[in-house]
Structure 1
Amino acid sequence: MKPAISDKKESNQEMSVQDSAPEIGEIIEASSTADINANDLEMLGLLEKKVRWLSSWTIHNANHLRPKRDGIKVGGHQASCASMTTLMTALYFNVLRPQDRVAVKPHASPVFHAINYLLGRQTKEKLENFRSFGGAQSYPSRTKDGDQVDFSTGSVGLGAAVTNFAALTQDYLRYKDMLPKDETPGRMVALVGDAELDEGNIYEALLDTWKHDIRNVWWVIDYNRQSLDGMIDAHLFRIIGRFFRAVGWNVITIKYGRKLHDAFAKPGGKSLKKWLNDVPNDIYSALTFQGGAAWRKQITSDMDGDNALASLLGDYDDDQLHDLMTNLGGHCMEAVLSAFDAVPNDKPTVFIAYTVKGYGTPLQGHKDNHAGLMNVPQMDAFKLQNNVADGQEWDLAAGLDISADQMRDYIAKAPFNDDAPRNKSAKHITIPEMPYARTETSSTQEVFGKILNELAKMKRSDLSDRIVTTSPDVTVSTNLGGFVNQRGLFGREELADEFKERKVPSAQKWIRSPSGQHVELGIAENNLFLNLAALGLSHSLFGERLFPIGTLYDPFIARGLDALNYACYQDARFMVVATPSGITLAPEGGAHQSISTPMIGMGQPGLTSFEPSFGDELAAIMGWSFEHMQDPDGGSIYLRLSTKPLSQPERDLSESEKTEIISGGYWLRKPGEDCKMAIAYCGAMAPEAIAAWEKLSDDHPGLGLLAVTSTDRLYNEWQDLERARLEGKADGKMAHVENLLKPLASDARLVTVIDGHPAALAWLGGVRGHAVAPLGVNAFGQCGDSIALYDHYQIGTEAILRAAKRWD
């Protein structure tokens, strides 16, 4: 039985504080306010105070107390932390459940660490070493902070957007009956800075995931109306709300707290509310920094003659007035809890929470506070304000009116705090031999499609059933069509292929259903890599392993490179198949021809790149890749494939030959004794290199022909070993590339050729000190056929011959 999901056509519920809609105060009174008991409000208020203190002190300790060996500013974001403390305290100590997953806005990392310290998931030593080697990370990191982090953040916008794709992944698993039926789905929660909404990838993600009708997503926007360098436009909240409503989200605005709502109900209160609604963001922030007297002067000047308002202001001294005017909804625990409780259904929900940047600190409201730090006198005053004695800065209950045991008892009852590991594990999936059948000629892209098609035909196969493919609108042109025809597109509802239903001839069967295994995306490479990131974390987030395979044109990796890096930084496990590649995609011209991508494959941590020439090589690599995606020390895979048809060798690869292919290279033509020259090639350049070898071999006895299947594996293994040698830990071990080049004479020369940047192979000369003539492409491509372009960019057979004969 499929999960019961509410109808997509159900109308959105907007909860706003604008005059045209209900206010959060009215929502509080009309909803479950009675469930927020006084003890919870008191304890959460104390926890909020402690979290604000700990996050501020963690940053202060790192910048002002801990010794600086290099003199470089450590940094941190005390103001950005302070604006989030109420919201995060409410979530972690009252609202969140163990199955919920959270992406914390990057600059609130110290708040996150402080909360985990209180939960017992973070150590004092890690906090003391915040932003230091081995300490708590500047931004939450799955790989460096460990089990407590659900989603890494840092590159703004991506952490928010990935929650949408995590919700899509959860839905995918639920519809495949891979998750327990009796478990309530987790909410994928993003804590978002308002300036993050400047990032375009946010809106790409909202549009693409709207098409999939995702559920169980919350975005909590810290609407403090300040960015790094200035103020947010005063009307941005309207645009934000409209956009989210347009893509089907519930919108809940939390603008004013209980104290302000009580004031609004008094004589003069309507005028006060009107002033607050109309005051520009920069004036509000300046007054927040200046304090009570400035508030009084500005309001009475702007509302001159309003006796009721003047009388209302007279009821408050300066400190009380400042406290009132900064009582925004995002800092009122009652308003925040009521807003979270008011979510009407499982549809995506965004909370626009009005906050003060730097709330409760000496930095509050100042336009320069983003990277600002409290100086020592300011921290001394802040410490006094928090009643924290010297030497008690890290104590659990210092400055509070309760004991540490009382605090621990309350924290232990938080629904989120179940002491279970946040990272789950999944069973190992046995990988069968890849179903490769040789044909006379074939391209690596074609072989990739055929292998997937054959895997799709395997019924009741753990591997096949757990493969999920995705692409940014290039499914057919990247050879995923066969797999999709066999396994279908994923969707919540059954949707027939109208062309098939109407008996219109078509090679593709686009049948959408909950059982489908292809997630269709629009033309947005950022979304491809965010989707791969979420799918590639399914084993850790949800305890069920998937094998995500994403395809795109090779040059467009650059369009999604930030998201690819982000996915790898999280240690997500996926296979990205980039095809077609290089200037071999000749008629398409420079806009579709890739040049630098081999260097991306070599340089991207967490991603192992391959560029095979032949189908049997690709089959061996794919089999290894599915294992590597499961290895605790493994990672993701990048296959750079081509549409260029090559004559396929007639051979049965031995296990040792497969090992060499997977290790990065092998001798297609072994060098003879005292070999003075060798040609090394990669990928689509195999025919040109083979032809050159055949023309040169008579005059150069022992000429070697080296097939490089992974510049990445060859180079990085060699470099890792070089570093080990510097530390005296190599134990005489030789890298695979060193063993490959060992038969060459010390004065031998290399000609290298690749359909990409020549530096990807030029480094081979540095392994054993050989001279190198590196051929490749280091300029933008253009239209033509491959023969003309190979000649123009000097990577064809004649160019190889010229490079070799230059040394004769």
Structure 2
Amino acid sequence: MPDGPFSPPLAGHIAQLTKLEQRVLWLAAWTIHNANHLRENRDGLKVGGHQASTASLTTVLTALYFHALRPEDRVAVKPHASPALHAILYMMGRQSLDKLKAFRALGGAQSYPSRTKDTEDVDFSTGSVGLGVAQTLFSALVQDYVRDHGWGLDRPEGRMVALLGDAELDEGNIYEALLEGQKHGLRNCWWIVDYNRQSLDAVAEDGQLDRLAPVFRALGWQVVTLKHGHLQQAAFAEPGGEALRDWIDGCPNAEYSALCFQGGAAWRARLTRDFAGDNAALSLIAARDDDALAALMTNLGGHDMALLCEAFAAARDHDQPVVFFAYTVKGHGLPLAGHKDNHAGLMTPDQMATFRQTMGVAEGQEWDRTDDPAALQAFLTQVPFLSGGPRRLVAPAVAVPERLTLPPERGAVSTQTVFGLLMAGLAKSDHPIADRIVTTSPDVTVSTNLGAWVNRRKVHARAVREDAFRLARLPSTFRWDKGPEGQHIELGIAEMNLFAMLSALGLSGDLFGQTLIPVGTLYDPFISRGLDGLNYACYQDARFILAATPSGITLAPEGGAHQSIATPLIGMSQPGLTMFEPAFGHELAVILRFALAHVQRRGPVSPDPATGLADDAGGAVYLRLSTRPIDQAPPLPPEREGDLLAGAYWLRPPGPNAEAVIAYAGAVAPEAIAATGALAEARRDVGLLAVTSAARLYQGWTAAGALRAKGRQATCHAERLLAGLPRDCGLITVTDGHPAALGWLGSVAGHRTRALGVTGFGQSGDIPDLYRAHGLDTVAILAAVRSLTPGRPVPDA
């Protein structure tokens, strides 16, 4: 927006906001100081807290939370500005003093904003830089999706706001998100860049904004540059002012930062030298003492309360996405301001004592919200952000069908095909949950078997667009009609965007009061490409179903780039995510129904002593599927489905004298079944364990052990399954993934174990060749049995 003076009637309000800003700055700095210098330090580690990064954004945060934000707005705050956010919420009565004093300690205010561990006014977690920024973009798209379906129209549209450091713009996921936003007609999104031109280790290169602004404009964003505050604007109107503007605009970033750190005398010496011979400019400088000159030269747009308030008000006049480049000084108002080493720097006790005097805070009053509680309370009654009641909404759960049924089986079928059939059945149904399912995929919708779902439920778009191929009467298996009622969101080829979208969809209940059941599909090998995004989504406690296919090495002809090894371990180790790996269609039908309910549960995280599982808490679900067709086993009777969901069931129960048990997961079922059949001729007691969720078996086992360590009675499914096996029984585990995913089963009851799996990169081939190469075929399984039971006959495959 053009530079211009603020409106005089706002002057009193701006003065109040400026006073609040100073208290926010003090409380944020004191919170960090208390954590590092006053609180007991038992381990000798630096606590940290980023005083300089917090200070550069304090004016912006104050202008937003005390003036510009509305209850329906949602905000992702720059990670290193969390102390200022905590201070603001404390001043508003929405953060406790105990948590502030325990900043970065167990149970205290979090180092970086966390929607699951801080107050309900933290809308998005941040910490892994760039991800919280992109989350606001996808949340804006989700808000449009919700409203396009006629839900939540009784609530006003909110702005999805991100506050980010300029160095965060180095993160590639931001640009992937920007491209996706442009495709989907992004609205109601603000990004406010703390343009302090410093990063963790250095001062940014000059001209960064000149390169970034055109990128945003080309992708449909309004670019608002807030560079010069009102003191500078007034000075520019004086004789010599244009020369001063040119000097400021042309000064290299590193030199400007150094002068900010050095202060008024350094500014005077430098400007006097550079303006030698320009009497008007010299007079402008001479008219101000050192303090006034320093205040003038650091009066950048991001520190000018009136300018910020006007800019935010103007942006509310339209719904176009806006990026604000707010020029700031890193460490503004602190003795660390401008120094290139200030990122992790801390004020010394002596510096803090001086700062206390500057801020007018008496000893013993460091934690006071204000020096005038009545005036603060009166002001807070007028703050729009506080006018709407609880900001964390509650969406009612949607009932789940009694069962998910499959069409009659036709010989061999893959779990990926079954997934498509189940989704197609939901698409045809009139069950209420079908309307709440929204699918999304990074350009692999058809190849992950979502095509039939999309044919019936359409692609979501803001405007109606019919399939051009169908209109031209060109043969095609799939219809890609688009419109506001569509229930599939098609993404470009970027796995980070998939997880950002799933995270945003999975928070719809909390953010917009409407339950959505997100189902995302991608190739299992490419989970690793979006792993940071997956971790972020789970850290936020977003709820979604992830169908990853093909898994393992079963897409054999396409080679190692399309083969996954470590994904079972990811599924087992990722908090907030429950992994299943079914082999048969009947298993997947039961699991998908469980998933539809599991993503909606919001109970306490408390393991059940009978199972070790904390199912009441719910969570996200990961289905590791395959393209390998296999002959189908008969469905389990309903009374045995509990075993399936707990993680495993006996496909062939072992006898009392079992010498070997084969435990398999997923697509290697044919090899495991064949090996068991070969062994059964000589060893009738051999057992075959179908592992449907190594993650749930492991979770239950470790949780039960932890409960027992605390003196409580507890057991788990894995212990019950293996309890009857003889002590000398050999356990052979087989999985199309890393062998460690199942190898731990030997520790449950102390059985000798051989773990078979994939530990190297694959190559092209067919499944028999690759299974033989990686030691997963029937011959390898029988050889493993032979190695565990020397001296006993083992038949050939």
Does the TM-score normalized on the shorter chain lie above 0.5? yes
Q: Alpha-carbon deviation of 1:685?
A: 0.4
Distance in 1 (alpha carbons) for counterparts of 2:232 and 2:460: 48
Indicate which of 198, 202, 208 corresponds to 2:174: 202
**What SS does structure 2 have at the residue aligned with 1:576?**
strand
Q: Alpha-carbon deviation of 1:438?
A: 4.1
Match of 1:557 in 2: 527
Match of 1:289 in 2: 261
The alignment covers a number of residue pairs equal to 772
Distance in 2 (alpha carbons) for counterparts of 1:42 and 1:438: 73
Match of 2:610 in 1: none
1:575 matched to 2:545: yes
Alignment RMSD? 1.0
- Kept in 2, the 8 Å contact 1:746–1:769? The answer is yes
Match of 1:537 in 2: 507
Match of 1:414 in 2: 383
**What SS does structure 2 have at the residue aligned with 1:567?**
helix
Match of 1:708 in 2: 691
Indicate which of 650, 657, 678 corresponds to 1:674: 657
- Kept in 2, the 8 Å contact 1:204–1:527? The answer is yes
Q: Alpha-carbon deviation of 1:42?
A: 1.0
Distance in 2 (alpha carbons) for counterparts of 1:683 and 1:291: 67
Match of 1:122 in 2: 95
* Aligned residue type for 1:84: L
Q: Alpha-carbon deviation of 1:240?
A: 1.7
Q: Alpha-carbon deviation of 1:567?
A: 0.2
Distance in 2 (alpha carbons) for counterparts of 1:332 and 1:774: 64
Distance in 2 (alpha carbons) for counterparts of 1:798 and 1:675: 20
Match of 2:274 in 1: 302
Q: Deviations over 1:668-715 (max 9, x none)?
A: 000001322100000000000000000011222210000000000000
* Aligned residue type for 2:745: L
Match of 1:239 in 2: 211
Larger mean CA deviation between 431-440 and 684-693 belongs to: 431-440
Q: Equivalences for 1:438-457 in 2 at 5 Å?
A: 438-439=408-409, 440-457=411-428
Distance in 2 (alpha carbons) for counterparts of 1:798 and 1:133: 52
Q: Deviations over 1:725-759 (max 9, x none)?
A: 11112x1x221000011121011111110000000
- Kept in 1, the 8 Å contact 2:649–2:690? The answer is yes
Indicate which of 129, 141, 162 corresponds to 1:168: 141
1:727 matched to 2:710: yes
Distance in 1 (alpha carbons) for counterparts of 2:516 and 2:547: 16
Cα 1:340/1:212, change in 2 over 3 Å: same
Distance in 1 (alpha carbons) for counterparts of 2:438 and 2:716: 35
Match of 1:637 in 2: 621
Match of 1:592 in 2: 562
**Where does structure 1 lack aligned partners over 5 or more consecutive residues?**
1-14, 16-22
**What SS does structure 2 have at the residue aligned with 1:647?**
coil
* Aligned residue type for 1:110: P
1:312 matched to 2:284: yes
Match of 1:757 in 2: 738
- Kept in 2, the 8 Å contact 1:24–1:253? The answer is no
1:97 matched to 2:67: no
Match of 1:684 in 2: 667
Q: Deviations over 1:22-76 (max 9, x none)?
A: x322xx56xxx35x52221111010000000010000000000000011111111
Q: Deviations over 1:68-105 (max 9, x none)?
A: 01111111110000011110101000110000000001
Q: Deviations over 1:278-334 (max 9, x none)?
A: 100000000000001100111121222111111110000011100110000100111
Distance in 1 (alpha carbons) for counterparts of 2:738 and 2:381: 57
* Aligned residue type for 2:665: C
Distance in 2 (alpha carbons) for counterparts of 1:541 and 1:498: 36
1:628 matched to 2:624: no
Match of 2:497 in 1: 527
* Aligned residue type for 2:232: L
Indicate which of 566, 584, 588 corresponds to 2:536: 566
* Aligned residue type for 1:239: R
- Kept in 1, the 8 Å contact 2:50–2:344? The answer is yes
Distance in 2 (alpha carbons) for counterparts of 1:58 and 1:216: 33
Q: Equivalences for 1:314-333 in 2 at 5 Å?
A: 314-333=286-305
Larger mean CA deviation between 296-305 and 75-84 belongs to: 296-305
Distance in 1 (alpha carbons) for counterparts of 2:308 and 2:40: 39
- Kept in 2, the 8 Å contact 1:692–1:801? The answer is yes
Q: Equivalences for 1:204-243 in 2 at 5 Å?
A: 204-243=176-215
- Kept in 2, the 8 Å contact 1:435–1:455? The answer is no
> What's the TM-score, normalizing by structure 1?
0.95
Distance in 1 (alpha carbons) for counterparts of 2:432 and 2:325: 43
Q: Deviations over 1:582-627 (max 9, x none)?
A: 1111001000100000000000000000000000000000111111
Q: Deviations over 1:155-182 (max 9, x none)?
A: 00000000011000000000000112x4
* Aligned residue type for 2:545: M
Q: Alpha-carbon deviation of 1:191?
A: 0.5
Larger mean CA deviation between 294-303 and 74-83 belongs to: 294-303
**What SS does structure 2 have at the residue aligned with 1:616?**
helix
- Kept in 1, the 8 Å contact 2:95–2:119? The answer is no
Q: Deviations over 1:233-287 (max 9, x none)?
A: 2111112211110100011000010000000000111111110011000000000
Match of 2:112 in 1: 139
**What SS does structure 1 have at the residue aligned with 2:384?**
coil
**What SS does structure 2 have at the residue aligned with 1:548?**
strand
Q: Deviations over 1:152-209 (max 9, x none)?
A: 00000000000011000000000000112x4320000001110000000000000011
- Kept in 1, the 8 Å contact 2:71–2:388? The answer is no
* Aligned residue type for 2:414: S
Distance in 1 (alpha carbons) for counterparts of 2:210 and 2:377: 41
Match of 2:242 in 1: 270
- Kept in 2, the 8 Å contact 1:438–1:615? The answer is no
Distance in 1 (alpha carbons) for counterparts of 2:219 and 2:492: 15
Larger mean CA deviation between 303-312 and 684-693 belongs to: 303-312
Match of 1:18 in 2: none
1:178 matched to 2:148: no
Q: Deviations over 1:780-804 (max 9, x none)?
A: 0110000000011111111001111
1:547 matched to 2:517: yes
Cα 1:500/1:622, change in 2 over 3 Å: same
- Kept in 2, the 8 Å contact 1:493–1:514? The answer is yes
**What SS does structure 1 have at the residue aligned with 2:438?**
strand
- Kept in 2, the 8 Å contact 1:677–1:744? The answer is no
Match of 1:359 in 2: 332
Q: Equivalences for 1:242-261 in 2 at 5 Å?
A: 242-261=214-233
- Kept in 1, the 8 Å contact 2:460–2:487? The answer is yes
**What SS does structure 1 have at the residue aligned with 2:728?**
strand
Q: Alpha-carbon deviation of 1:419?
A: 6.2
- Kept in 1, the 8 Å contact 2:226–2:301? The answer is yes
Q: Alpha-carbon deviation of 1:650?
A: 2.8
Distance in 2 (alpha carbons) for counterparts of 1:391 and 1:82: 23
Percent of aligned pairs sharing the same letter: 55
* Aligned residue type for 2:649: Y
- Kept in 1, the 8 Å contact 2:3–2:233? The answer is no
* Aligned residue type for 1:726: A
Distance in 1 (alpha carbons) for counterparts of 2:706 and 2:657: 29
**What SS does structure 2 have at the residue aligned with 1:646?**
coil
- Kept in 2, the 8 Å contact 1:674–1:743? The answer is no
Match of 1:24 in 2: 3
- Kept in 2, the 8 Å contact 1:490–1:514? The answer is yes
Match of 2:49 in 1: 76
* Aligned residue type for 1:404: P
> What's the TM-score, normalizing by structure 2?
0.96
Larger mean CA deviation between 694-703 and 525-534 belongs to: 694-703
Distance in 2 (alpha carbons) for counterparts of 1:146 and 1:669: 50
Indicate which of 771, 779, 784 corresponds to 1:798: 779
**What SS does structure 2 have at the residue aligned with 1:342?**
helix
